[in-house]
Amino acid sequence: MARDLRYLVLAEGKFGPMTSKTANGCIRYSPERVVAVLDSTHAGRSAREVIGFGGDIPVVASVEEGMRHGPNALLIGIAPTGGQFPEEWRPLMRAAIANRLEIWSGLHTFIGDDPEFAALAREHGVTIHDLRKPPTDLPVAAGRVRDVAATVVLTVGTDCNIGKMTASLQLRDGLRKRGRRVAFAGTGQTGILIEGWGISVDAVVADFIAGAAERLTIDAAKDADIVLVEGQGSLAHPGYSGVTYGLMHGSLPHAMVMCAQPSRTAINNQPWVKIPPLKEFIAFHERALEPLRPSRTIAVALNTFDLAEPAARDAIARAEDETGLPATDPVRFDPAPIVEAIERFHAARAR
């Protein structure tokens, strides 16, 4: 992946703490790559004013205005359910291609397969990168991960979009600061954009979910002692749970970090699915791996962005009581309790 990318991030009408997952992940973990965000409904503000972080990155009203900040690529900044391209963005895409911006997309709908965009891109000599296009030579998983010496840690969660990627990246940074050789295996479009490699496991043909996870984990382990595999979905999610389950069986984590949002009691947009009690849900995850590899949940990562600080601290204490595990919000507070749990687990394995 080229290292001189300067993204204009497209989030028209969607830039916000919970509605522009890809934009937000990129701003949090690769802010140096983001020159501006395009959302006319927030134009004139800064990223920090809209999503709470991202400093002075400007929000602009149009592609033309964005061009003044010197981008060389347009990054599609959302990850909607089903991954379709929002048709109302078509004029913005035309303008971006006409301005010779490379297109980077993690949508399910491949931009390069769209006849209009493909023709326009050819005309202007623009490259389209569809990050979800999976490798064509994936294997069916068969436990090859068992040959890997590294400690494999997978983030799992009570729902989608609950902070699994963010937690993994905070833990990556925390472990790196302590001198650990750690790799982040990105499994979704944002994680891939941030790290520069990975496989979108939810975009592969269903038979190869675990095979993709297996290959990713093995590749990540080549130069690392600890591999953090980015989790996807949730075993309780009616739409995406198959991806979560396959990811578990392909990556065969030695340890898991359970991600949850204390204020969320049901699956997002699926109020009929109540999130099981944390302790029970953790036990279920361990049982799911039992026939393949004994695995333990070693910490809880809470997403408390919507709670006042005292309520957040309370929620963390309650999660620790309920599960008997170290817990924290690794974005809002010091990720050390989870980082140390991983270090202890890794040290115990090495013995």
- Residue 277 is a binding residue for a copy of itself (CB under 8 A): no
> Which residues lie across from 229 on neighbouring strands?
154, 185
CA 121, distance to chain mean position in Å, is: 28
Q: Which of 291, 294, 310, 324 binds a copy of itself (CB under 8 A)?
A: 291
Q: Which is nearer to a copy of itself, 108 or 346 (CB)?
A: 108
Report the interhelical angle of 241-251 vs 278-289 (nearest 10°): 50
Q: Which is nearer to a copy of itself, 32 or 137 (CB)?
A: 137
The answer to whether the CB of 40 falls within 8 A of the CB of 61 is: yes
Site for a copy of itself in 106-125 (CB under 8 A): 108
CB of 306 to a copy of itself, least distance (A): 22
Which strands, in side-by-side order, build the sheet including 255-260?
Answer: 182-185, 226-229, 151-157, 255-260, 296-302, 327-328
CB of 272 to a copy of itself, least distance (A): 6
- Residue 223 is a binding residue for a copy of itself (CB under 8 A): no
Phi, psi for residue 302 in degrees, rounded to 5: -100, 145
Does the CA dihedral 198-142-299-277 come out positive or negative?
Answer: positive
214 vs 208: CA distance, rounded Å: 10
Which strands, in side-by-side order, build the sheet including 73-76?
Answer: 59-60, 34-38, 7-10, 73-76, 102-105, 128-130
Candidates 17-25, 33-41, 197-205, 301-309: pick the segment binding a copy of itself (CB under 8 A).
197-205
CB of 246 to a copy of itself, least distance (A): 2
Question: Look-up: residue for tokens 């010197």?
Answer: 70
Q: Which of 90, 146, 178, 344 binds a copy of itself (CB under 8 A)?
A: 146
Phi, psi for residue 187 in degrees, rounded to 5: -120, 0
- Residue 135 is a binding residue for a copy of itself (CB under 8 A): no
CA 343, distance to chain mean position in Å, is: 22
> Measuring CA to CA, which residue among 152, 147, 98 is closest to residue 124?
98
Binding mask 302-321 for a copy of itself (x = CB under 8 A): --------------------
CB of 185 to a copy of itself, least distance (A): 16
How many CB atoms sit inside 10 A of residue 271's CB?
9
Phi, psi for residue 350 in degrees, rounded to 5: -70, -25
Q: Which of 43, 95, 118, 292 binds a copy of itself (CB under 8 A)?
A: 292
- Residue 239 is a binding residue for a copy of itself (CB under 8 A): yes
Candidates 90-98, 111-119, 244-252, 322-330: pick the segment binding a copy of itself (CB under 8 A).
244-252
Candidates 52-60, 149-157, 199-207, 338-346: pick the segment binding a copy of itself (CB under 8 A).
199-207
The answer to whether the CB of 167 falls within 8 A of the CB of 213 is: no
Site for a copy of itself in 64-83 (CB under 8 A): 81-83
Determine the size of the site formed for a copy of itself (CB under 8 A).
48
> Which residues lie across from 59 on neighbouring strands?
37
Candidates 60-68, 87-95, 174-182, 232-240: pick the segment binding a copy of itself (CB under 8 A).
232-240
CB of 214 to a copy of itself, least distance (A): 8
Burial class (CB in 10 A: 0-12, 13-18, 19+), 72: middle
Q: Which of 152, 156, 201, 301 binds a copy of itself (CB under 8 A)?
A: 201
CB of 279 to a copy of itself, least distance (A): 14
Q: Which of 270, 296, 320, 343 binds a copy of itself (CB under 8 A)?
A: 270
Does the CA dihedral 281-79-271-265 come out positive or negative?
Answer: positive
Q: Which is nearer to a copy of itself, 250 or 326 (CB)?
A: 250
Task: Catalog residues that contact a copy of itself under the rule CB under 8 A.
Answer: 81-83, 108, 139-143, 146, 201-207, 209-211, 235-247, 249-250, 269-270, 272-276, 284, 287-288, 290-292
